[in-house]
């Protein structure tokens, strides 16, 4: 790479004599601009070539191939045909052949599964799943696509479009963490996958970080999330009972301080769930509450949120009944108190003033006539 750079730099000196008198940074900038122009021209040529219909005999492995499947019996009933446009290497695999070995590393998301179900029912499966193993025979461990498999079963399909990676499960998991295949994983899901790599496949922290294209600190931060969450709390996160943010920022500190309160709060949230924002508000009041109040708060967390909402509603209704006059009266009283305080401080000063204080006095002095005009208009 260094030899290539020096060769191009020498050619730049020969083509542009003025560059010999330039500093090294300017020469590098000129060279980078030339390389960027060359890449743009190359991309333009590729785009122009791709706009024409490619010859099937010259399609590479990375080309997206359109597969025209035979229309099954279900097509006449209005069921979309799967695999209308799939990447090379994706084939139809029976759902019963897929082993859901990594299901414990996923967080349930019913709205996302329902959205996928509607999409598959209307357009078929567009993005293939990923499995580790040979498609010819033997087990196939599903690595990515658990929501798609659930959606396919809801629709009634017995096959799934799967891209088979001929590697071990550990290598497939590292590749999945190294690249974003279908969606952004939750940090808890990444931590569970990393623990699967370290515990089940014997990788060290450095090996897992290297294979996942991250540094060791990234792996350690994910594993710290698991260490801070008890097993019961982890199961609540996987069941989408609480978010991973609330589990790491609210329930985990609560479990370290008072495990009984954390357990009771989880049980209370099963019957009356709270949003992440509501849990954050609840925890802020919990930290300021006394012991007797905390007992009632963990037993009935919804009661506190409802009381706060009722208090806000009463305050809004009171302001609506009072009208703008009440708000103006409060502001005028605060302004009167501030003017008295400022007058006491100004009496202790002498001219000339420093520039900062002088500028502040000028701003206040310029705004006083406007206030006086409005008061004169209201008070004839």
User: Which tops the pLDDT comparison, 207 or 307?
Assistant: 307
Question: pLDDT value at position 288?
Answer: 92
Predicted confidence band of residue 183 (pLDDT cuts 50, 70, 90): low
Between 188 and 85, the more confident residue is: 188
What mean pLDDT is predicted for residues 131-141? 79
Torsion sign over Cα 73, 76, 81, 84? positive
Q: What is the pLDDT of residue 158?
A: 86
On whether the CB atoms of residues 121 and 155 are closer than 8 A, the answer is yes
CA 258 to chain centre: 30
Integer CA distances (angstroms), 175 to 193, 214, 356, in order? 11, 11, 59
Q: Is the pLDDT of residue 79 over 70?
A: no
Does pLDDT of 4 surpass 60? Answer: no
Look at residue 236 in the predicted model and tell me its pLDDT: 82
What 3-state class would DSSP assign to 272? coil
Residue 71 has what pLDDT?
29
What backbone phi and psi angles, to 5 degrees, belong to 12? Answer: -65, -40
Query: What is the band of 180 on the pLDDT scale with cuts at 50, 70, 90?
Result: low
pLDDT value at residue 84 = 43
Q: Do 265 and 254 touch, CB atoms closer than 8 A?
A: yes
Mean pLDDT of 148-160: 89
Strands 140-144 and 129-132: antiparallel
Characterize the bridge pairing of strands 90-94 and 129-132: unpaired
More confident residue, 1 or 232: 232
Q: How confident is the model at residue 119 (pLDDT cuts 50, 70, 90)?
A: confident
Residues 354-364: what's their mean pLDDT? Answer: 90
pLDDT of residue 271: 83
Give residue 179's pLDDT: 67
**Strands 159-165 and 129-132, how do they pair?**
parallel
pLDDT at 176: 75
Q: Which of 180-194, 212-226, 333-347 shows the highest mean pLDDT?
A: 333-347
Confidence of residue 75 (pLDDT cuts 50, 70, 90): very low
More confident residue, 61 or 355: 355
Tell me how far CA of residue 127 lies from CA of 91, 132, 287, 301, in angstroms.
12, 16, 46, 41
Q: Kindly tell me if the per-residue pLDDT of 284 is higher than 90.
A: yes
Provide, rounded to the nearest whole percent, the portion of the chain with pLDDT above 70: 76
Q: Which of 11-20, 222-231, 243-252 has the lowest mean pLDDT?
A: 11-20
Average pLDDT over residues 27-50: 45
Six token digits for residue 141: 């461990």
Percentage of residues in the chain with pLDDT exceeding 90? 11
pLDDT computed for residue 294 by the predictor: 93
Cα dihedral 81, 82, 84, 88, rounded to 10, equals -160
pLDDT tier for residue 44 given thresholds of 50, 70 and 90 = very low
pLDDT computed for residue 300 by the predictor: 92
Average pLDDT over residues 109-136: 84
pLDDT of residue 263: 87
Give the mean pLDDT of the chain. Answer: 75
Residue 5 has pLDDT above 70, yes or no: no
The predicted model scores a pTM of 0.44
Tokens 């009972």 — which residue? 241
DSSP designation for 104: G
- pLDDT higher than 60, residue 87: no
Cα–Cα distance measured from residue 16 to residue 128, given in angstroms and rounded to the nearest whole number = 52
Highest mean pLDDT among 35-39, 40-44, 282-286, 349-353 belongs to 282-286
Q: Backbone dihedral region of 124: left (phi > 0), alpha (psi from -120 to 50 degrees) or beta? A: left
Q: How many CA atoms lie within 13 A of 295 on its CB side?
A: 2
């Amino acid at each position: 790479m260094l030899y290539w750079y020096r060769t191009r730099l020498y050619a730049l000196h020969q083509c542009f004599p003025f560059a010999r008198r330039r500093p090294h940074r300017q020469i590098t900038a000129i060279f980078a601009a030339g390389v960027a122009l060359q890449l743009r021209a190359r991309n333009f040529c590729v785009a122009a070539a791709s706009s024409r219909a490619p010859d099937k005999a010259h399609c590479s492995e990375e080309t997206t191939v359109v597969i025209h499947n035979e229309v099954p019996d279900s097509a006449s009933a209005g069921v979309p045909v799967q695999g209308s446009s799939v990447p090379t290497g994706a084939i139809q695999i029976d759902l019963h052949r897929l082993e859901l070995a990594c299901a414990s590393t996923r967080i349930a998301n019913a709205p996302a599964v329902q959205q996928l179900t509607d999409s598959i029912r209307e357009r078929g499966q567009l993005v293939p799943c990923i499995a580790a193993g040979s498609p010819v025979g033997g087990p196939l461990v599903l690595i990515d696509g658990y929501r798609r498999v659930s959606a396919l079963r809801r629709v009634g399909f017995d096959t799934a479009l799967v891209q088979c990676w001929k590697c071990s499960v550990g290598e497939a998991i590292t590749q999945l963490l190294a690249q974003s295949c279908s969606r952004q994983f939750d940090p808890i899901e990444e931590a569970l996958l990393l623990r699967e790599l370290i515990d089940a496949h014997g990788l060290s922290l450095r090996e897992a970080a290297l294979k996942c294209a991250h540094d060791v600190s990234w792996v350690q931060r994910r594993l710290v999330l698991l260490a801070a969450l008890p097993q019961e709390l982890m199961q609540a996160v996987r069941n989408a009972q609480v978010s991973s943010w609330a589990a790491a920022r609210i329930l985990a500190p609560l479990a370290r301080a008072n495990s009984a309160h954390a357990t009771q709060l989880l049980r209370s949230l099963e019957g009356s769930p709270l949003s992440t924002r509501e849990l954050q508000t609840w925890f802020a009041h919990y930290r300021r509450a006394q012991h007797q109040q905390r007992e009632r708060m963990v037993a009935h967390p919804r009661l506190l949120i409802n009381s706060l909402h009722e208090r806000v509603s009463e305050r809004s209704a009171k302001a609506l009944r009072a009208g703008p006059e009440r708000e103006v009266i409060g502001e005028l009283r605060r302004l009167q108190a501030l003017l008295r305080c400022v007058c006491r401080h100004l009496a202790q000063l002498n001219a000339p003033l420093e520039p900062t204080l002088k500028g502040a006095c000028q701003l206040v002095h310029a705004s006083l006539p406007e206030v006086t005009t409005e008061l004169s208009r209201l008070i004839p």
